[in-house]
Amino acid sequence: MTDYFLIGKIISSIGRNGKIKIISYLDFKERFIQLNEIFVDFFEDKKSLKFEFIEEGKDCFFVKFKNFDSDEESEILIGKNIYVNENDLVKMPKDHFFINDIIGSNVFCNDVKIGIVKDVLNLPANDVYVITDLDNKERMIPAVPDFVEKFDVDEKILILKKVDEYYEEDDED
- Kindly report, residue by residue over 54-101, the tens digit of the pLDDT: 888 887 889 999 999 998 899 999 999 998 887 666 666 677 777 778
Give the bridge partners for 120, in sequence order. 129
Alpha helices, H only, the chain: 29-34, 71-74, 99-102
Portion of the chain with pLDDT greater than 90, in percent: 39
Domain locations in the chain as residue ranges: 4-87, 99-165
Give the architecture-level CATH label for domain 4-87: Beta Barrel (2.40)
- 99-165 placed in CATH 1.20.210.10: no
Q: What is the Cα–Cα distance from 116 to 1, expressed in whole angstroms?
A: 26
Is residue 77 helix, strand or coil? helix
What is the chain's length? Answer: 173
**Who has greater pLDDT, 46 or 30?**
46
Q: What is the Cα–Cα distance from 161 to 66, expressed in whole angstroms?
A: 47
| Average pLDDT estimate for 14-21 | 89
Give the bridge partners for 158, in sequence order. 107, 151
Portion of the chain with pLDDT greater than 70, in percent: 85
**Who has greater pLDDT, 108 or 35?**
108
pLDDT of the residue at 108: 93
Instruction: Specify whether the CB–CB gap between 122 and 25 falls below 8 A.
Output: yes
Contacts of 154 (CB under 8 A, 6+ apart): none
Residue 129 has pLDDT above 70, yes or no: yes
| Average pLDDT estimate for 37-51 | 88
| Mean predicted lDDT score pLDDT of the chain | 84
| Average pLDDT estimate for 13-41 | 82
- What pTM value is reported for the model? 0.56
Task: Quote the DSSP letter at residue 23.
Answer: E
Q: What is the Cα–Cα distance from 41 to 80, expressed in whole angstroms?
A: 7
Task: Tell me which residue of 44, 167, 52 sits closest to 112, measured CA to CA.
Answer: 167
